[in-house]
Chain A
Amino acid sequence: MPDDLPGASPPDGAGYGAVDDAGREALLAAVFFRARRNVARRISVLVAMTDPRADGALPATARDAARREAHTLIGTAGTFGLDVICELARELEQVLRHDTGQDRRRAGQLVRQMAAALPPGADGDQPGKPAVDDA
Protein backbone atom coordinates (compact mmCIF):
# COMPACT_ATOMS: atom_id res chain seq x y z
CA MET A 1 0.00 0.00 0.00
CA PRO A 2 1.68 3.23 -1.07
CA ASP A 3 2.10 5.82 1.69
CA ASP A 4 2.19 8.80 -0.65
CA LEU A 5 -1.48 8.70 -1.59
CA PRO A 6 -3.98 10.98 0.11
CA GLY A 7 -5.55 9.18 3.00
CA ALA A 8 -2.98 6.43 3.07
CA SER A 9 -3.84 4.36 6.09
CA PRO A 10 -1.67 4.18 9.17
CA PRO A 11 -1.19 0.83 10.88
CA ASP A 12 -4.49 -0.22 12.42
CA GLY A 13 -7.18 2.39 12.87
CA ALA A 14 -5.45 4.92 15.06
CA GLY A 15 -6.45 8.49 14.28
CA TYR A 16 -9.33 7.80 11.89
CA GLY A 17 -11.93 8.86 14.42
CA ALA A 18 -10.70 12.46 14.38
CA VAL A 19 -11.24 13.20 10.67
CA ASP A 20 -13.83 15.77 9.60
CA ASP A 21 -16.32 15.26 6.75
CA ALA A 22 -13.90 16.45 4.04
CA GLY A 23 -11.18 14.25 5.45
CA ARG A 24 -13.54 11.32 5.56
CA GLU A 25 -14.44 11.73 1.89
CA ALA A 26 -10.78 11.96 0.89
CA LEU A 27 -10.00 8.93 2.99
CA LEU A 28 -12.78 6.86 1.44
CA ALA A 29 -11.81 8.00 -2.08
CA ALA A 30 -8.27 6.82 -1.48
CA VAL A 31 -9.45 3.49 -0.08
CA PHE A 32 -11.76 2.93 -3.07
CA PHE A 33 -8.95 3.84 -5.45
CA ARG A 34 -6.62 1.29 -3.91
CA ALA A 35 -9.39 -1.32 -3.89
CA ARG A 36 -10.04 -0.87 -7.60
CA ARG A 37 -6.35 -1.39 -8.24
CA ASN A 38 -6.51 -4.48 -6.06
CA VAL A 39 -9.40 -5.82 -8.16
CA ALA A 40 -7.59 -5.00 -11.42
CA ARG A 41 -4.49 -6.80 -10.17
CA ARG A 42 -6.45 -9.91 -9.24
CA ILE A 43 -8.18 -9.95 -12.62
CA SER A 44 -4.83 -9.64 -14.39
CA VAL A 45 -3.67 -12.72 -12.48
CA LEU A 46 -6.73 -14.59 -13.70
CA VAL A 47 -6.18 -13.40 -17.28
CA ALA A 48 -2.69 -14.86 -17.16
CA MET A 49 -4.03 -18.17 -15.85
CA THR A 50 -6.82 -18.67 -18.39
CA ASP A 51 -7.23 -18.78 -22.14
CA PRO A 52 -10.68 -18.42 -23.73
CA ARG A 53 -9.46 -20.09 -26.93
CA ALA A 54 -8.31 -23.25 -25.22
CA ASP A 55 -10.42 -26.35 -24.80
CA GLY A 56 -10.33 -28.89 -22.03
CA ALA A 57 -9.80 -28.56 -18.33
CA LEU A 58 -7.51 -26.34 -16.33
CA PRO A 59 -4.83 -28.21 -14.42
CA ALA A 60 -6.04 -28.91 -10.89
CA THR A 61 -3.61 -26.53 -9.21
CA ALA A 62 -4.47 -23.69 -11.59
CA ARG A 63 -8.16 -24.35 -11.13
CA ASP A 64 -7.87 -24.21 -7.35
CA ALA A 65 -5.82 -21.02 -7.48
CA ALA A 66 -8.26 -19.40 -9.89
CA ARG A 67 -11.20 -20.43 -7.73
CA ARG A 68 -9.60 -18.79 -4.69
CA GLU A 69 -9.02 -15.59 -6.66
CA ALA A 70 -12.62 -15.65 -7.88
CA HIS A 71 -13.88 -16.16 -4.35
CA THR A 72 -11.88 -13.19 -3.09
CA LEU A 73 -13.11 -11.06 -5.98
CA ILE A 74 -16.74 -11.75 -5.09
CA GLY A 75 -16.26 -9.98 -1.78
CA THR A 76 -13.88 -7.26 -2.86
CA ALA A 77 -15.55 -6.24 -6.12
CA GLY A 78 -19.02 -6.29 -4.58
CA THR A 79 -18.02 -4.36 -1.50
CA PHE A 80 -16.54 -1.61 -3.66
CA GLY A 81 -19.54 -1.30 -5.96
CA LEU A 82 -18.20 -3.32 -8.89
CA ASP A 83 -21.34 -5.40 -9.12
CA VAL A 84 -20.88 -6.81 -12.62
CA ILE A 85 -17.41 -8.09 -11.75
CA CYS A 86 -18.81 -9.51 -8.51
CA GLU A 87 -21.44 -11.52 -10.37
CA LEU A 88 -18.97 -12.71 -13.00
CA ALA A 89 -16.63 -13.81 -10.21
CA ARG A 90 -19.48 -15.70 -8.59
CA GLU A 91 -20.13 -17.54 -11.87
CA LEU A 92 -16.42 -18.19 -12.31
CA GLU A 93 -16.20 -19.72 -8.85
CA GLN A 94 -19.07 -22.04 -9.72
CA VAL A 95 -17.49 -23.01 -13.07
CA LEU A 96 -14.27 -23.88 -11.28
CA ARG A 97 -15.89 -25.71 -8.37
CA HIS A 98 -15.92 -29.05 -10.18
CA ASP A 99 -13.63 -30.53 -12.77
CA THR A 100 -15.95 -30.85 -15.75
CA GLY A 101 -13.13 -31.32 -18.18
CA GLN A 102 -14.37 -28.29 -20.12
CA ASP A 103 -13.82 -25.39 -17.72
CA ARG A 104 -10.90 -23.68 -19.47
CA ARG A 105 -12.83 -21.97 -22.24
CA ARG A 106 -15.72 -20.74 -20.05
CA ALA A 107 -13.31 -19.54 -17.37
CA GLY A 108 -11.32 -17.63 -19.96
CA GLN A 109 -14.46 -15.98 -21.30
CA LEU A 110 -15.63 -14.92 -17.84
CA VAL A 111 -12.25 -13.52 -16.92
CA ARG A 112 -12.12 -11.42 -20.10
CA GLN A 113 -15.61 -10.10 -19.35
CA MET A 114 -14.40 -9.14 -15.88
CA ALA A 115 -11.44 -7.29 -17.36
CA ALA A 116 -13.75 -5.46 -19.75
CA ALA A 117 -16.02 -4.45 -16.86
CA LEU A 118 -13.25 -2.71 -14.95
CA PRO A 119 -14.05 1.00 -14.57
CA PRO A 120 -11.78 3.45 -16.39
CA GLY A 121 -8.63 4.17 -14.46
CA ALA A 122 -8.85 1.08 -12.26
CA ASP A 123 -5.24 0.31 -13.02
CA GLY A 124 -4.26 3.98 -13.23
CA ASP A 125 -2.03 5.95 -10.94
CA GLN A 126 -4.10 8.66 -9.39
CA PRO A 127 -6.84 8.53 -6.81
CA GLY A 128 -10.33 9.26 -8.05
CA LYS A 129 -13.82 9.21 -6.66
CA PRO A 130 -15.13 6.05 -5.09
CA ALA A 131 -16.08 3.39 -7.61
CA VAL A 132 -19.74 3.17 -8.47
CA ASP A 133 -21.84 0.40 -9.95
CA ASP A 134 -20.27 -0.61 -13.23
CA ALA A 135 -23.50 -2.04 -14.58
Chain B
Amino acid sequence: MTRRILVVDDDDAIREIATVTLSVVGGWDVLTASSGTEAVTRAGAERPEAVLLDVMMPGLDGPGTVERLQAHEATRHIPVILLTAKVQPSERERFATLPGVLGVIAKPFDPMTLADQMSDLLGWTS
Protein backbone atom coordinates (compact mmCIF):
# COMPACT_ATOMS: atom_id res chain seq x y z
CA MET B 1 0.00 0.00 0.00
CA THR B 2 1.29 3.46 -0.86
CA ARG B 3 2.44 5.54 2.08
CA ARG B 4 0.74 8.89 2.51
CA ILE B 5 2.66 11.77 4.01
CA LEU B 6 2.06 15.46 4.58
CA VAL B 7 4.78 17.99 3.69
CA VAL B 8 4.47 21.35 5.44
CA ASP B 9 6.60 24.36 4.49
CA ASP B 10 5.78 27.99 3.77
CA ASP B 11 8.44 28.08 1.05
CA ASP B 12 7.03 27.00 -2.32
CA ALA B 13 10.39 25.74 -3.58
CA ILE B 14 10.99 23.43 -0.63
CA ARG B 15 7.43 22.14 -0.70
CA GLU B 16 7.69 21.41 -4.39
CA ILE B 17 11.07 19.64 -4.39
CA ALA B 18 10.06 17.56 -1.38
CA THR B 19 6.80 16.62 -3.07
CA VAL B 20 8.47 15.64 -6.32
CA THR B 21 11.30 13.63 -4.81
CA LEU B 22 9.22 11.89 -2.16
CA SER B 23 6.71 10.95 -4.84
CA VAL B 24 9.17 9.91 -7.52
CA VAL B 25 11.96 8.45 -5.38
CA GLY B 26 9.96 7.29 -2.38
CA GLY B 27 6.85 6.34 -4.33
CA TRP B 28 4.70 7.97 -1.68
CA ASP B 29 1.45 9.83 -1.94
CA VAL B 30 2.33 13.37 -0.85
CA LEU B 31 -0.08 15.93 0.55
CA THR B 32 1.07 19.49 1.14
CA ALA B 33 0.31 22.44 3.39
CA SER B 34 1.87 25.89 3.36
CA SER B 35 1.19 26.79 6.99
CA GLY B 36 0.89 25.21 10.39
CA THR B 37 -2.80 25.94 10.53
CA GLU B 38 -3.42 24.28 7.17
CA ALA B 39 -1.30 21.33 8.28
CA VAL B 40 -3.44 20.74 11.37
CA THR B 41 -6.58 20.80 9.24
CA ARG B 42 -5.20 18.48 6.56
CA ALA B 43 -3.74 16.07 9.07
CA GLY B 44 -7.09 15.81 10.84
CA ALA B 45 -9.03 15.31 7.64
CA GLU B 46 -6.69 13.06 5.68
CA ARG B 47 -4.74 11.20 8.36
CA PRO B 48 -1.30 10.95 6.76
CA GLU B 49 1.09 8.30 8.06
CA ALA B 50 3.75 10.93 8.77
CA VAL B 51 4.32 14.68 8.64
CA LEU B 52 7.45 16.45 7.38
CA LEU B 53 7.22 19.84 9.06
CA ASP B 54 9.25 23.02 8.73
CA VAL B 55 10.23 24.60 12.04
CA MET B 56 10.27 28.29 11.17
CA MET B 57 7.05 29.46 9.55
CA PRO B 58 5.08 32.67 9.98
CA GLY B 59 2.03 32.33 12.18
CA LEU B 60 1.83 28.86 13.67
CA ASP B 61 5.42 27.56 13.58
CA GLY B 62 6.63 23.95 13.58
CA PRO B 63 6.70 23.36 17.35
CA GLY B 64 3.32 25.06 17.68
CA THR B 65 1.93 22.81 14.97
CA VAL B 66 3.27 19.73 16.76
CA GLU B 67 1.53 20.91 19.91
CA ARG B 68 -1.78 21.23 18.05
CA LEU B 69 -1.38 17.80 16.47
CA GLN B 70 -0.66 16.30 19.87
CA ALA B 71 -3.72 17.98 21.36
CA HIS B 72 -6.13 16.11 19.09
CA GLU B 73 -6.95 12.44 19.47
CA ALA B 74 -7.16 12.00 15.69
CA THR B 75 -3.68 13.30 14.97
CA ARG B 76 -1.77 12.53 18.16
CA HIS B 77 -0.39 9.26 16.81
CA ILE B 78 1.00 10.74 13.56
CA PRO B 79 4.80 10.82 13.67
CA VAL B 80 6.43 14.14 12.82
CA ILE B 81 9.83 14.83 11.33
CA LEU B 82 11.00 18.40 11.65
CA LEU B 83 12.90 20.23 8.95
CA THR B 84 15.11 23.10 10.06
CA ALA B 85 17.94 25.36 9.00
CA LYS B 86 18.86 25.93 12.64
CA VAL B 87 22.46 24.91 13.12
CA GLN B 88 22.81 24.91 16.90
CA PRO B 89 22.90 21.31 18.19
CA SER B 90 21.06 22.41 21.33
CA GLU B 91 18.18 23.72 19.25
CA ARG B 92 17.97 20.54 17.21
CA GLU B 93 18.06 18.41 20.37
CA ARG B 94 15.27 20.46 21.84
CA PHE B 95 13.13 19.95 18.73
CA ALA B 96 13.88 16.24 18.65
CA THR B 97 12.53 15.75 22.16
CA LEU B 98 9.14 17.29 21.47
CA PRO B 99 6.30 14.77 21.93
CA GLY B 100 5.43 13.14 18.62
CA VAL B 101 8.66 14.17 16.91
CA LEU B 102 10.70 11.23 15.64
CA GLY B 103 13.63 13.19 14.31
CA VAL B 104 15.04 16.30 12.71
CA ILE B 105 16.35 16.75 9.18
CA ALA B 106 18.65 19.69 8.54
CA LYS B 107 18.19 22.22 5.78
CA PRO B 108 19.70 22.35 3.28
CA PHE B 109 19.00 18.71 2.44
CA ASP B 110 19.79 16.47 -0.49
CA PRO B 111 16.46 16.07 -2.30
CA MET B 112 17.42 12.72 -3.77
CA THR B 113 18.06 11.14 -0.35
CA LEU B 114 15.19 12.78 1.52
CA ALA B 115 12.94 9.71 1.21
CA ASP B 116 15.69 7.48 2.61
CA GLN B 117 16.34 9.86 5.52
CA MET B 118 12.66 9.92 6.34
CA SER B 119 12.31 6.14 6.03
CA ASP B 120 15.20 5.66 8.42
CA LEU B 121 13.72 8.01 11.00
CA LEU B 122 10.27 6.49 10.64
CA GLY B 123 11.53 2.92 10.69
CA TRP B 124 9.95 2.24 7.32
CA THR B 125 11.56 -0.46 5.26
CA SER B 126 11.03 -0.54 1.50
**Residues in A lying within 8 Å of B, measured CB to CB:** 1, 9, 11-14, 16-17, 19, 24, 27-28, 31-32, 34-35, 38-39, 68, 71-72, 74-80, 86, 90
Q: Produce 1/0 per residue, B3-30, CB < 8 A to A.
A: 0000000111110110110111001111
The answer on a CB contact under 8 Å between A16 and B23 is yes
Q: A76, B13: Cβ atoms under 8 Å?
A: yes
Per the bound structure, the CA–CA distance linking A38 and B10 in Å amounts to 12
A71/B13 in contact, CB under 8 A: no
Total number of B residues with any Cβ neighbor in A under 8 Å: 29
Q: Which residues of B contact A (CB under 8 A)?
A: 2, 10-14, 16-17, 19-20, 22-24, 27-32, 56, 58, 83, 85, 87, 107-111
The reply to whether A31 and B17 form a contact with Cβ atoms under 8 Å apart is: yes
Partner of B24, one of A1, A27, A90: A27
- Number of interchain pairs (Cβ within 8 Å): 88
Given A34-B16, A35-B17, A13–B30 Cβ distance below 8 Å? yes
By Cβ-Cβ distance, the 5 closest A-B pairs, closest first, are A78-B108, A75-B107, A13-B30, A16-B23, A13-B23
Whose C-beta in chain B lies nearest to the C-beta of A82?
A: B108
Whether A17 contacts B20 in the complex (CB less than 8 A), given A1-B12, A75-B14, comes out as: no
